[in-house]
Chain A
Amino acid sequence: MANLRVKLPGLDMKNPVIPASGTFGFGYGFARFYDINILGSIMIKATTLEPRFGNPLPRIAEGPSGMLNAIGLQNPGIDVVLNESLEQLRPLYKDKVIANVAGSSLEEYVEVARRMSEHDMIGALEINISCPNVKAGGIQFGTDATMAATLTKAIKEVSKVPVYIKLSPNVTDIVEIAKAVEAAGADGITMINTLIGMRFDLKTGKPIIANKTGGYSGPAILPVALNLVYKVTKAVKIPVIGMGGISCGKDVIEMMIAGASAVAVGSQNLVDPFACMTIIEELNELLDQMGVSDINDIVGLSHQY
């Protein structure tokens, strides 16, 4: 059995597989399917200062090998997350989890980040500056390098744990933004969030998603994610947690070859609640077949090309 242990700022993980934020709730719901202690970490659902109901329905549509969603950051607000959601997870998961932080203003991000980082179960923050489904905040911070850097700096000043910035693929130059958040003190990057997309009803011409646009995810976007992770990891020194379309063990290997130090699995958890468990099992077998004794050895294997 190959070594799967991966160490990143704030995260000492038994393997590099993390369920992605927004596809795994606050984790405890999946404990009825399998022992979630097998997971490297968990990226919990994006949290804002106040509770949010999110967007009107329909919030979901489908596309070739993928799905479109516009949930709109539905969450119970930080008070409930800290006092209830994380407490429900506590008896079920022993390692540190990653808090996904969202907001409509710099002040909201900073406040949620500060309070989240003080919770003993949180090993790192993932700052969501890339949600395409809310009108204010979110992606505004993620599409402008200066704003992204300002936000990163402000959060770094208050956070007790390492800070990862979640980047959007819906930009002209993702490398510019990655470099800006690195220079601003980010400890790591998570990428990519969903790609903005639409679907229409053929008869009426009406967008299927009530929010009109949604974020596209699923196996269809894997090659896009691989390309962007490859580019960014060649350009920055901080570690990248790679995500976007991972649905099996082979995809994890490929994402790490592209340069990711760990990975997140998103939509596949929705199609198959056992996806992360299966992927971890597959990883063991695949590395043995490849004759790799330490998974860290394949990180950035592609960078020679």
Chain B
Amino acid sequence: MEKYLSGIFTITTINQLTSDVYEMTIKGEATKYITNPGQFINIKINDSKEPYLRRPMSIARYFDDKIVFIFRVVGEGTKILSKKKVGEKLDCLVGLGNGFTPVGNGKALLIGGGLGTPPMYELGLQLKQMGVEVTTVLGFGTSDQLFYEDKFKELGPVFVATMDGSYGYKGTVIDVIKQENVEFDNYYACGPEPMLMALAKTYRQNGQLSYEARMGCGFGACMGCSCETLTGDKRICVEGPILRSDEVIIDG
């Protein structure tokens, strides 16, 4: 019996992108449950009860039966994942969350902060296919954390900011947007919460922001990732991870 939103995937490629960031491709029919860029998958790292919870991952690219995702080794779960071999199986819940709604007209600005960069790539490809002009701003801590710059260059102009100035512009993604007078009608962003908050404050309208949270389940059952918005309480895993910039509650 086929299990809805769920499938067993086979690892087909593993590439190390930086000292602690990996790109993994997995193959499986359940890819069909993905409807929008910016949705996520939730991976059972092992068959055993350790680690217990699944690990949610954003999707960098998806094809008919393949998903590419990128992760950083931050703890035991991702460490085990990084040591998996091609051919090993992964139990995944697929097509979770609302995802981005690509707007088919005007100029688009993609903003990726650190490990928030991956989902912007699939979104950018889809926007480009819709004939939308795409500009990308990427923010990383240091130059050695940078990845995917070349891929985004295929979509349009790319500006990179690093906090220490070791590559590209020194400063935040917003510093770059302002310095370069980047023009856009709609923007899409994924990255650390302070970055998303700064964007929502600076550009209140026409933004779609992808949030991250510690999740128990990833499909709306545990209420572990609830957040308050101007349009009501939302679960990051179901009514998110994408929130509209004008519904985010601005702190302070």
A23 touches B44 (CB 8 A): no
User: Does A67 reach chain B (CB closer than 8 Å)?
Assistant: yes
User: Does B50 reach chain A (CB closer than 8 Å)?
Assistant: yes
- What is the total of A-B residue contacts with beta carbons within 8 Å? 98
B53 touches A271 (CB 8 A): yes
User: Does B153 reach chain A (CB closer than 8 Å)?
Assistant: no
How long is the Cα–Cα vector from A115 to B213 in the complex, in angstroms? Answer: 35
How long is the Cα–Cα vector from A59 to B228 in the complex, in angstroms? Answer: 14
Task: List the B residue with the shortest CB-CB distance to A55.
Answer: B226
User: Does A53 reach chain B (CB closer than 8 Å)?
Assistant: yes
How long is the Cα–Cα vector from A273 to B92 in the complex, in angstroms? Answer: 11
B52 touches A71 (CB 8 A): no
* B-contacting residues, A52-73, CB 8 Å: 53-54, 57-67, 69, 71
Summarize A's interface: helix, strand, loop or mixed. loop
How long is the Cα–Cα vector from A304 to B107 in the complex, in angstroms? Answer: 75
Interface size class, chain B: 20 to 34
Closest CB in chain B relative to A10 CB, distance in Å: 25
Task: Please encode chain A, from 23 to 34, with 1 for each CB lying within 8 Å of some chain B CB and 0 for all others.
Answer: 111000110111
User: Does A269 reach chain B (CB closer than 8 Å)?
Assistant: yes
- Chain B residues whose CB sits within 8 angstroms of the CB of A63 once the complex forms: 52
User: Does B3 reach chain A (CB closer than 8 Å)?
Assistant: yes
Task: Please encode chain A, from 11 to 31, with 1 for each CB lying within 8 Å of some chain B CB and 0 for all others.
Answer: 000000000001111000110
How long is the Cα–Cα vector from A32 to B33 in the complex, in angstroms? Answer: 13
User: Does B178 reach chain A (CB closer than 8 Å)?
Assistant: no
A53 touches B233 (CB 8 A): yes
Known contacts A25-B220, A273-B219, A274-B3: A218-B52 contact under CB 8 Å:
yes
User: Does A301 reach chain B (CB closer than 8 Å)?
Assistant: no
Known contacts A57-B227, A61-B214: A30-B221 contact under CB 8 Å:
yes
How long is the Cα–Cα vector from A23 to B220 in the complex, in angstroms? Answer: 10
* A-contacting residues, B53-69, CB 8 Å: 53-54
Closest CB in chain A relative to B100 CB, distance in Å: 22
Closest CB in chain A relative to B43 CB, distance in Å: 11
Task: List the B residue with the shortest CB-CB distance to A245.
Answer: B49
Task: List the B residue with the shortest CB-CB distance to A63.
Answer: B52
Summarize B's interface: helix, strand, loop or mixed. loop
* A-contacting residues, B175-223, CB 8 Å: 213-217, 219-223
Known contacts A57-B227, A58-B214: A218-B222 contact under CB 8 Å:
no
Given contacts A33-B3, A53-B233, A271-B54, 20 further A-B contacts (CB under 8 A): A30-B221, A32-B4, A34-B3, A57-B213, A58-B214, A59-B214, A59-B223, A59-B224, A59-B225, A62-B51, A63-B52, A67-B53, A69-B216, A71-B223, A71-B224, A218-B52, A270-B217, A270-B221, A271-B52, A273-B217
The interface of chain B, by Cβ under 8 A from chain A, is 3-6, 44, 49-54, 93, 213-217, 219-228, 233
- 23 A-B pairs with C-beta separation under 8 A: A23-B221, A25-B220, A32-B4, A32-B5, A53-B233, A57-B226, A59-B225, A60-B214, A60-B216, A60-B222, A60-B224, A61-B214, A62-B51, A62-B52, A62-B53, A69-B222, A71-B226, A219-B49, A219-B52, A273-B5, A273-B93, A273-B217, A274-B6
